[in-house]
Amino acid sequence: MDLARFHPDNRARLGRAAREALGLAGEAWVILFVGSGFERKGLAPLLRALAQLADERCRLVVAGKGDARPYQELARQLALGARVSWVGPRRDIECLYAAADVVALPALYEPFGNVHLEALAAGVPVLTSARAGGSELITRGQNGWVVPAPSAEAIAEGLRALRESDAARLAAAARASAEPFTYQAQAEGFETLYQQLKR
């Protein structure tokens, strides 16, 4: 993980401009979904969970490749309207993390997405499902929330809990949980593995 590119300091440097570019008001509580393969990564139950959150300041930003039309239609049916922003694939993903209060990836199945580590490194708590490999890094209520299965009710419960938690504490715990995942640590891990295989 590039701990310099994905850093909590980006919130102060990039967050306000990113929110303005997305048309998000300063008081918005921003949920970010990042991923291609919308069905597998749980976008539909996330949209249904957003509909259960009565606070109109809760907004969802959806980034990633894929056919968004079925999900845009679902958002319309759920009367979510302007509460959802569809931004497509982005190269400046660190700007979206800087604008986010939480990243939600309630996957039906995910081996281990970079999104988990990127968000945590950026100091953004992560809501995910137990069906995602990245859930191994999440301690419920400390640096995010893990739902057993991606149901709208469980996701909404987790989002409410994170909304009511101390944001600074969550951000610090998120960053700390990503810091061991450096390129150096990865190289050393491979070296150790190769040495063991040589024996």
CATH number at 62 reads: 3.40.50.2000
Residue-range definition of the domain harbouring residue 175: 10-198
Q: How many domains is the chain built from?
A: 1
β-partners of residue 126 are 103, 144
Task: Share the mean pLDDT of the chain.
Answer: 94
Q: What is the reported pTM?
A: 0.93
Q: Is 146 left (phi over 0), alpha (psi -120 to 50) or beta?
A: beta
Residue 1's pLDDT band (cuts 50, 70, 90): confident
Residue 104 lies inside a defined structural domain of this protein: yes
Burial track 33-51 (b if 16+ CB lie within 10 A, e otherwise): bbbeebeebbbbbbbbbbb
Q: Which carries the bigger pLDDT value, residue 173 or residue 183?
A: 173
Residue 2 lies inside a defined structural domain of this protein: no
Residue 155 lies inside a defined structural domain of this protein: yes
Residue 152 lies inside a defined structural domain of this protein: yes
